[in-house]
Amino acid sequence: MQEVTEKKEFTPNIVAFCCNWCSYAGADLAGSSRLTYPANVKIIRVPCSCRVNPTFVLKAFQQGADGVILCGCHPGDCHYVTGNYYTRRRMALLFSFLNYMGIEKERTRVEWVSAAEGAKFSEVMNDFVKTVTALGENKRLTDLRVKEGK
Amino acid sequence: MQRIGVFICWCGSNIAATVDVKKVAETIKAEPGVVFSDNYQYMCSENGQQLIKNAIKEHNLTGIVVGACSPRMHEATFRKAAEAAGLNPYMVEIANIREHCSWIHKDMDEATEKAIVLVRTAIAKVKLNAPLTAGESPVEKRALVIGGGIAGIQAALDIADAGFQVDIVEKNATIGGRMAQLDKTFPTLDCSACILTPKMVDCAQHENIDILSYSEVEEVKGFVGNFNVKIRRKARFVDETKCTGCKICMEKCPSKKGLNEFNMNLDTRPAIHIPFAQAIPNVAVIDSTQCIKFKTGKCGICQKFCEAGAIDYEQKDTFIERKYGAIVVATGFKPIALDNFNEFGYADNKDVITSLELERLMNAAGPTNGVLLRPSDGEHPKVVTFIQCVGSRDTSGCGKPYCSKICCMYTAKHAMMIREKYPDTEVHVFYIDIRTPGKNYDEFYRRAVEQYDVDYIKGMVGKVYNENGKLMVQGSNLIDNEQVTIASDLVVLATAIEPEPSVRKIATLLTASIDTNNFLTESHAKLRPVESPTAGVYLAGVCQGPKDIPETVSQASACAAKVIGLLAKSKLKTNPCVATPDEAMCNGCSQCANVCAYGAITYVEKEFRLGGGKTEVRRVASVNPAVCQGCGACTVTCPSGAMDLRGFSSKQIMSEVEAICKK
Amino acid sequence: MRDIELKMIERAKALLESGEVARVVGWKKGEFYFDPMPAVFETVEELNDFVYNSFCGANLSKYLIKVSKNPGKTAIFLKPCDSFSLNQLFKEHRVIRENIYVIAIECQGKLSVEKMKKLGVSAITEVNENGEEIVVSSLYGETKFSRDEVLLGKCETCKSKVHQVKDEEIILREMQAGKKDRFEDVEKLEAMSEEERFTFWREQLSKCIRCNACRNVCPACSCMKCVFDNPASGIAAKANDDKFEEQLFHIIRAFHVAGRCTDCGECSRVCPQGIPLHLLNRKFIKDIDGLYGEYQAGETAEGKTPLTSYNEEDGEPSDVFKGEEK
Amino acid sequence: MTREERLENISTLSGTDVKKCMKCGKCSGRCPAFKEMDIKPHQFVSLLAQGKLEKLLECEAIWSCLSCMACVERCPRGVAPAAVVEAVRDTVVRMQGKNGIKAEDIPPIVDELIPQQLLVSAYRKYNK
Amino acid sequence: MLRIAKEKLNALYAKINESMGLFIPVKRAGEVNYEIWKEGKEVSLETLKTVKSPKNMFFPSTENMMKFKTEGKALEIVDVRDEKKPFVLFGVKACDYKAIEVLDKVFLADPVDTFYQARREATTIVTLACSRPEESCFCGVFGIDATSPLGDATSWLDESYLYVQANTEKGEALIALIKEFVEEGGDAEVKAQQEKTTEILKKLPFAQLDLSRFKPENLNELFEAPQWEELSEACLGCGTCTFVCPTCQCFDIRDFKTHDGVIRYRCWDSCMYSDFTLMAHGNSRTTQMQRFRQRFMHKLVYYPSQNDGLYSCVGCGRCVNKCPQNLNIVKVIKTLGGKKND
């Protein structure tokens, strides 16, 4: 019984990498349209989704993030012409690999959100938070030392 | 030791209503490295900026964090303020506590807590910022206008008048665009050609304008101030420099059954033709898919009769490459295809026509010489029914979700013109809503109702069917809660408009973003409505969103002003946030160059000291900072991490990650 | 095998004597029959210690990065699998083709002493090869193995017996590729649940002592300075006792070589703890093949790798999980 | 079931979002049974949107709607007026208790000339 | 001599585990290493060589030393030591036991490494005699008798029994703890095993290695020996030899950033690594040859010259087995050691 209530209280820590031109602007639009999503989503601005190194994703998990989401321009609309095409390959392979290592596939996600898709941004974040919340705390890919409170 | 200053903005109540700004500023004071933290109602205001400037000077700040609106709004503002106070502008970071926090969260505690984390994250980043200096790049004093419609013409004329060279690239054989096809223009009912053609002539005669008709943009390289554009000049099989526009070839051409695109295919034209009387350039073009010479190898009549000797069947597409400092996109629109709307019987009934077809039927230079005759039998229609919103405001997937904006006005115009010219004609208009914002617009529409007795029916048409040669238009009259069926002779569909499809390719070439409806995205919906997010690319006309002629012309002139402002500069500051390799760690493996979309990375052989007096020559990457756009694709490809991105270094991003994850 | 060895020595001699090459990279005798070491031979005399037998499993191509910087041409003996690695090094400009003379050599699959020991043999004093039969003498008696029983793991799934680059060849007998499907083990893991996979890798990686043998032997890991040794990278680490460090190291390493790994299998061969590291790299290879079309790193010395190219029609990252809903 | 629940139920049964309606009337413009209906297709949508349950339940039009789905097909906003009609019909039928026709009752009364579609729609209508 | 029936061993481990920790060879995913015993783990005393040596017990591959806790701008140092728990280290082979002596001379010499010391004092060592040495073993060269190691207690293993004998008070105490499992007997069996093993040890291929030239007075000559270049040619610079070695004792001290401060920890380091003892000016040893030479010179010359001739190699042969490219100390000894090797 107690476990159930504990699970309910769990709020995941979500790191969202957003490209400056589309998704960050999409997040801005979600803001100016007052489309809410949970406060535990925190955005890091990168020039392009292709700037996101797998190391950053792992770093986030190491530091105790429960979910990592990458948002970029829709394929074909990359401000830097081809950046997100590389992102698409890199992250497809990385996420498949993480899952192969036993990391829950729902913890990682890539979404294409244009500057005009504030509503989509908010929907995506709400859905991702919901998914990760259902999954519970990230235990398989975290460095326990970071949380050491001794 | 870092000395960080933190400035929390209230943005009036925009932030302060959901984020306890004072608490944020107070809590942040305890952060290592923070020596100053304050809050203010409007940081972006004169006083707010002064507060920042004073704090930088008084506290010898080495970096500042502004907790405010999106960096897309005011990053530049605060960088300027920092610079004015003697701090490198790149030692500024913005924590977006408005769009990403106060505006989306309702709970004060939650939002405040998040704001603190966002500010901490910005502090973590700014601590690793390095002062950066923008480089400079020259500006090519020439502009490219893509599209020769009224938007392109206006932009080109304005830029050219300011003394800069402009090239207009038009894919059709003449400039003029959609406006050239229109009969009258609302709300003044001026003759469209009468006001457009003089501008076309101005273009042709302007010493600073070069019209590249029948041409398309093939490739765009470079960046603001330094675009390198490859243009395909399609073979028109007529030497543009020789053709005098005498039209003898058109008379003599034996193949006269080509559909006349200019008249919306309502009549025919010869294989060799000049699109319309006032075409600019007034030069013929051969439709090689229709021409007998091209199909059978025999004929050659036009060549025989051309006194100027302008006909050249051997002509091939040629390419020219030119450098431009700025690009204006004005690719315009087309009416949507009506394949999804068989309820209106467009495909089955010749007398169901689109509004643009009606423009040609009403136009003195059109297929009927301006006499309104129905296409099926050439009879004068006695009952004309207009249907509005055909394909507009349609979220079912058949049409377009947006309002096409111009249909209410032109339908009123059409209705009025028919009633004016043929008072014996009965005119009905089915409408959902009438949208007439604009100077003298509603008055115009009311004239149709009040003065010209046009029958406006609120309701939509459910189907149009042919019964004994009559077009039965069945729709609802919502005011009377009736279903009505109007036996009509001509049905005019106010068809939705969409961006000219070629805009997709152009958007890709220019790396300009495009929305789900293929409209080009402007940099900011309100404050930068004519700029594309790609620096140096500007948007005019319907390619950016539905609009009428006055709006298009205003936007085109606004583009011109932006372009002139850009070209007037002798140098541009380049983005200092570019990739830089650490040569000592570079393997020279070429992976980074493989992913660079701009060709900014080359390799050089360099000598390195190994210690003990030994040296080694190694192949290492070298980045051209003027060409690099700072996307960072190369940084991830580099396994040794030798390639990093200034302003968004791996360490900076990782420190942001750490700060966010800290619980 | 001996006949090939003699031919190799003969060619090495000729090349050194004629001055055509300044050095030859091959193997030299160890303390036993089964412990030859990679070696660089610069004189004819040194060739007295030259050896080539079924225990020459080491991939020599990576040595060329360093060795070929010396003046003169370097000759190297390459097994088919090693030739993929060298091609990849050519592609990445780590070795210059003109400086190398490649002698393609026969390989009938290499053997593993570890495997023999795991099968119960210890105190080995001698190994005799009789074609398919391997006779092992030890202080505790004699044991016979079939070649397949004691084949190195990487040779069981040998992907090709075709040399990808060569200037000449010493091949006397027909060679056969591996009998086991390369992706069989990857597929087995894929068929497991997330939980099972996690447990599998946890068990395996918890053995890791972070000796870096896998990295240092890997021809694709040829960075001037590895991110894990570079304090500026933000992920430098030496310790391996925390589970995350092991994961991080192996994930990043696998990602860095993704699309470049030729699947030479050296990582697993050298791991002192017997971790099947090749299954990490092979997952990337399998995914790349499946998502972006068959690709074999090292097949060519030019062109882009799957991660430095793209196709507009590529699938979405979420697509990789489609069709495996459990 | 309370009034609100009933309205909610109709909305759920219809599976359509009446708020999407832009009041163009195309549904009624296309409706072949328009004249037979005391409440027109667009009014079904409008009444449901306004929560006028009684008007919906009292109407006769639910029996004259042909369930031809022309209104659904033509709606530019993806609203399905016929589905609302059907939902109201279901509600009415259910409130009456089970009194619909059974499949086996049909053959004796079937006229060969009755179009198949009518049979199907009749069956939909009367067998809830 | 006491003996314990093999089938009782699991119960015995459980008994020990009630009052102290037990560090013992355990098979995990196909390899045997020392681990903390837990019910259900697969103990493998039969394995001749664990991959890692038992030095982990006293000198763990990673060990937290202290923690800096930050709150805002305040800093606090937190003690995180936890190395005083009593442990039994079970199944240590003669070579590995000798290696502990080598480590003691480093960690227990002034200044004493109190982490090491505390663990060392809290641990009871039970050694296990070898009965099936292999070709890479050469402990005899360093005067070690693999058939009768010391420690707090010594044990022998055959098909049916584990034989035990206490050597110290700690050993006695341990036997008292497990008295319910032991019975008298086994002298003859142990003796027979020892004799048999001794015969095999004599026949081992490396039994006769000559170390005679590895003397402090030959330091310069050995250092300058031209053969190092060839010996190290194939070295990958990995740390396998170091990390499987029972006597290697180098470590690095690093900081790890946590959510509320920094953990300062030490972890094994290897002189084979290019960033070993990295200093502001760079590395003291810039080539792999220098690093390779350092390791073997340390084992065979530097260490003995400071420790009364005690070599810091114990002939366990792990590096012989595990070097990816088959380089090893035996090849060094044979090349540079002395006349007998020629």
For residues E161 and E128, give the distance between their C-alpha atoms in angstroms, rounded to a whole number: 12
E73, E260, E282: residue with CB nearest B32: E73
Residue type, C305: T
For residues D72 and B434, give the distance between their C-alpha atoms in angstroms, rounded to a whole number: 24
Domains contained in chain A, number = 1
Residues facing residue C136 across a β-bridge: C127, C143
Structural domains of chain D sorted by starting position, each given as residue range(s) with its CATH number in brackets: 3-99 (1.10.1060.10)
Reported as a pLDDT band with limits 50, 70 and 90, residue C324 is low
From B601, B587, B586, select the one nearest B631 (Cα to Cα): B601
Residue C117 predicted with pLDDT over 80: yes
Whether the link from the prior residue into B187 is cis, omega within 30° of 0, is: yes
* Enclosing domain of residue A86: 14-134
The whole-number average pLDDT for the span E163-192 is 95
DSSP, res E300:
I
* Interhelix angle B650-661/A54-62, nearest 10 degrees: 30
Residue C155 lies in a domain: no
Q: Are residues C140 and C287 in the same domain?
A: no
For residues D46 and D61, give the distance between their C-alpha atoms in angstroms, rounded to a whole number: 15
The whole-number average pLDDT for the span C11-32 is 96
Reported as a pLDDT band with limits 50, 70 and 90, residue C196 is very high
Residue A147 lies in a domain: no
Check if A44 contacts B (Cβ < 8 Å). Answer: yes
Residues of chain B positioned with their CB less than 8 A from the CB of D34: 476, 483
Residue type, B556: A
With beta carbons less than 8 A apart as the criterion, state whether B74 and B68 touch: yes
Q: Do chains E and D touch (3 or more CB pairs under 8 A)?
A: no
Reported as a pLDDT band with limits 50, 70 and 90, residue A150 is very low
Q: Are residues C100 and C118 in the same domain?
A: no
From A67, A55, A69, A61, select the one nearest A147 (Cα to Cα): A61
Give the C-alpha distances (Å, rounded to integers) separating C185 from A132, C177, D120: 30, 17, 56
**Among B505-509, B632-636, E13-17, the least confident range:** B505-509
Residue D104 predicted with pLDDT over 90: no
From B309, B313, B318, B283, select the one nearest B295 (Cα to Cα): B313
Residue C156 lies in a domain: no
Nearest CA in chain B to E73: B32
Neighbours of chain B (3+ CB pairs under 8 A): A, C, D, E
* Enclosing domain of residue C274: 181-326
For B573, phi then psi, to 5°, come to: -80, 135
Residue B261 predicted with pLDDT over 60: yes
pLDDT, chain E, mean: 94
For D54, phi then psi, to 5°, come to: -60, -45
Q: What does the pLDDT read at residue C240?
A: 64
pLDDT, chain A, mean: 90
pLDDT by residue (tens digit) across B36-70? 999 999 999 999 999 999 999 999 999 999 999 99
Contact yes or no for E325 and C216 at CB 8 A: no
Interface list for chain B against chain E, based on CB atoms closer than 8 Å:
30-32, 610-612, 658, 661-663
Q: What does the pLDDT read at residue C326?
A: 37
* Of residues D108 and D1, more confidently modeled: D1
Residue A3 predicted with pLDDT over 60: no
* Of residues C69 and A145, more confidently modeled: C69
Share of chain A above pLDDT 70, in %: 93
The whole-number average pLDDT for the span B491-504 is 96
Buried b (16+ CB within 10 A) or exposed e, B250-286: beebebeebebebbbebeebbbbbbbbebbbbbbbbb
Residues counted in chain B: 663
With beta carbons less than 8 A apart as the criterion, state whether C159 and C85 touch: no
Share of chain B above pLDDT 70, in %: 100
Place of tokens 């012409």: A81
Q: What does the pLDDT read at residue A1?
A: 38
For residues B645 and B634, give the distance between their C-alpha atoms in angstroms, rounded to a whole number: 9
For A54, phi then psi, to 5°, come to: -50, -30
Place of tokens 């030496």: C238
Q: What does the pLDDT read at residue B589?
A: 94
From B91, B87, B117, B114, select the one nearest B103 (Cα to Cα): B114
Residue B306 predicted with pLDDT over 70: yes
Residue A39 sits in a domain whose CATH number is 3.40.50.960
Structural domains of chain B sorted by starting position, each given as residue range(s) with its CATH number in brackets: 4-126 (3.40.50), 142-234+318-332+503-567 (3.50.50.60), 248-305 (no CATH), 337-498 (3.50.50.60), 579-646 (3.30.70.3270)
The whole-number average pLDDT for the span E259-272 is 92
Residue C323 predicted with pLDDT over 80: no
For residues A105 and A116, give the distance between their C-alpha atoms in angstroms, rounded to a whole number: 28
Q: What does the pLDDT read at residue B272?
A: 96
Reported as a pLDDT band with limits 50, 70 and 90, residue B245 is very high
Q: Are residues C221 and C134 in the same domain?
A: no
Check if A141 contacts B (Cβ < 8 Å). Answer: no
Q: What does the pLDDT read at residue A76?
A: 79
Q: Are residues C315 and C274 in the same domain?
A: yes
Residue type, B376: S
List alpha helices for A10-102, DSSP H: 23-32, 54-62, 83-100
Q: Are residues C129 and C208 in the same domain?
A: no
E230, E244, E274: residue with CB nearest C272: E244
Q: Are residues C197 and C314 in the same domain?
A: yes
Residue D109 predicted with pLDDT over 80: no
Residues of chain B positioned with their CB less than 8 A from the CB of C92: 587-591
For residues D32 and B485, give the distance between their C-alpha atoms in angstroms, rounded to a whole number: 12
pLDDT by residue (tens digit) across E189-203? 999 999 999 999 999
Q: Give the CB-side neighbour count of residue E40, counting CA atoms within 13 A.
A: 0
Domains contained in chain C, number = 3
**Among C208-222, C302-316, D92-106, E302-316, the least confident range:** D92-106
pLDDT by residue (tens digit) across E184-240? 999 999 999 999 999 999 999 999 999 999 999 999 999 999 999 999 999 999 999
Contact yes or no for C308 and B637 at CB 8 A: yes
Residue A70 lies in a domain: yes
Sign, CA dihedral A84-A88-A93-A98, equals positive
Q: What does the pLDDT read at residue C176?
A: 87
The whole-number average pLDDT for the span E169-193 is 95
Residues of chain C positioned with their CB less than 8 A from the CB of B616: 69
For residues B660 and A39, give the distance between their C-alpha atoms in angstroms, rounded to a whole number: 12
The H or E element containing residue B601 is strand B601-611
Q: What does the pLDDT read at residue B273?
A: 96
Residue E102 predicted with pLDDT over 50: yes
Give the C-alpha distances (Å, rounded to integers) separating B83 from B61, B62, B89, B134: 12, 12, 5, 12
Nearest CA in chain B to E283: B611
Record the tokens describing residue B277, joined without a space.
């009387």
From C156, D29, E129, select the one nearest B390 (Cα to Cα): D29
Reported as a pLDDT band with limits 50, 70 and 90, residue A2 is very low
Q: What does the pLDDT read at residue B624?
A: 85
D29, D74, D78: residue with CB nearest B395: D78
pLDDT by residue (tens digit) across A92-124? 999 999 999 999 999 999 999 998 899 999 999
Residue D116 predicted with pLDDT over 80: no
pLDDT by residue (tens digit) across A74-97? 997 888 878 999 999 999 999 999
The contacts of residue B2 (CB under 8 Å, 6+ apart) are B33, B62, B63, B127
| Edge-first strand listing for the sheet containing C133-138 | C124-130, C133-138, C141-146
For residues B388 and B385, give the distance between their C-alpha atoms in angstroms, rounded to a whole number: 10
Residues facing residue B465 across a β-bridge: B472
Residue A94 lies in a domain: yes
**Among A51-55, B3-7, B356-360, B572-576, the least confident range:** B572-576
For residues B491 and B351, give the distance between their C-alpha atoms in angstroms, rounded to a whole number: 6
Total beta-carbon pairs less than 8 A apart between chain B and chain E: 16
pLDDT by residue (tens digit) across B70-118? 999 999 999 999 999 999 999 999 999 999 999 999 999 999 999 999 9
Reported as a pLDDT band with limits 50, 70 and 90, residue C116 is very high
Give the C-alpha distances (Å, rounded to integers) separating E237 from B257, C261, E71, E271: 81, 20, 41, 9
3-state SS string over C225-281?
Answer: CCHHHCHHHCCCCCCCCCHHHHHHHHHHHHHHHCCCCCCCCHHHHHCCCCCCCHHHH
Contact yes or no for C213 and E134 at CB 8 A: no
Q: What does the pLDDT read at residue D110?
A: 65
Reported as a pLDDT band with limits 50, 70 and 90, residue C112 is very high
DSSP, res E298:
I
Residue D28 predicted with pLDDT over 70: yes
Q: Are residues C190 and C276 in the same domain?
A: yes
Place of tokens 């926090």: B101
With beta carbons less than 8 A apart as the criterion, state whether B209 and B121 touch: no
pLDDT by residue (tens digit) across C156-184? 999 999 999 999 999 999 998 888 999 99
Residues facing residue B93 across a β-bridge: B65
Check if C130 contacts B (Cβ < 8 Å). Answer: no
Nearest-neighbour CA in chain A from B639: distance (Å): 10
